[in-house]
Chains A and B, each alone.
Chain A
Amino acid sequence: MDNNISTKLVLSHTVFHTAFRADKFREVSQRDVLKQFLRARFISDFIIEIGSESPEGECYGVTSQRIFSEFCTKLEEEGTSLGKADYFQILKSFIYCVPNESINKLGVNEGIIVIADILSNRGNYDPIIITDMKKPKMNSTATEYYKKYTGQDDPKIPFLILNAKEAIRFLHGRFPKYYDLVKSRDSKYNLI
């Protein structure tokens, strides 16, 4: 396995929904939307690729329980399917959903900022927030959040915030073996 597996991908609600509830994208022919979907799916495939050979319980992807629950509710609203329980079980085996109540009381963006802060401050992990929001928006949300709670005018944000395209570039550099494996599984990834 590649070194530095302590990197954790903290998934925002935007990228989570795009990757795992993307039926709406199938009919869309616009190239940019298709790329957005493929990039989010590449990230989730990457998490599965690493997780499928890691010891059980070790998750490379992280999100909040709130984001996961909202995702489940959305799927429930879209109609019944006998496969949902199995689908949720598989996703939860790859993506750790932080159950902490104080985190889940926060907004979806603030929640993942707090998760990334905890992971980086404990020193065990190297978290990266991945978002589909326009990067300046997520960065400014994080900056405002740190300003508010540190009282500093120019606070240091102790983790990276990347969009899916930037994250794929990062993963290519850090985990070339897994990058190549994921890419080889679907020729559509040549489009991204």
Chain B
Amino acid sequence: MNTQLDDIRIRKVKVLGDRAKEEAEKQGFSENDLVIVRTVIGSLPTYKLTKIEGSPTQFIRDKILNSD
């Protein structure tokens, strides 16, 4: 696991704040898309977004629980 990773959670694009939302728009995500937000704190936090496809429960089990 990346030791710089400070937080991970699922949020809906429409509730994201300025910079995270800008990142979502850059990646072409829609308002109702669910995304995994990985927050990495260096000086100013950066937000890495991964769009969830399909069932979010299935997605996190497949992509996060079973990741190596």
Contacts and interface: CB of A to CB of B under 8 A. Distances in A.
Nearest to A94: B10
A48 B15 contact: no
Contact of B65 (A41, A52, A83, A94): A83
Contacts, number: 75
B1 A48 contact: no
B64 A48 contact: no
A67 B43 CA distance: 38
Q: What secondary structure prevails in chain A residues at the interface with B?
A: helix
A109 to B, nearest CB: 23
A56 to B, nearest CB: 8
B67 interface: yes
Interface residues of A, number: 29
B48 to A, nearest CB: 13
Interface stretch (A27-35, A84-92, A134-142): A84-92
B42 interface: no
A20 interface: yes
A82 B11 contact: no
A6 B64 CA distance: 30
B12 A53 contact: yes
B30 interface: no
Interface in B1-38: 1, 5, 7-12, 14-15, 32, 34, 36
A154 interface: no
12 contacts: A20-B57, A45-B55, A45-B56, A48-B10, A48-B34, A52-B11, A56-B9, A83-B66, A89-B9, A90-B60, A90-B64, A185-B56
Interface of B: 1, 5, 7-12, 14-15, 32, 34, 36, 54-58, 60-61, 64-68
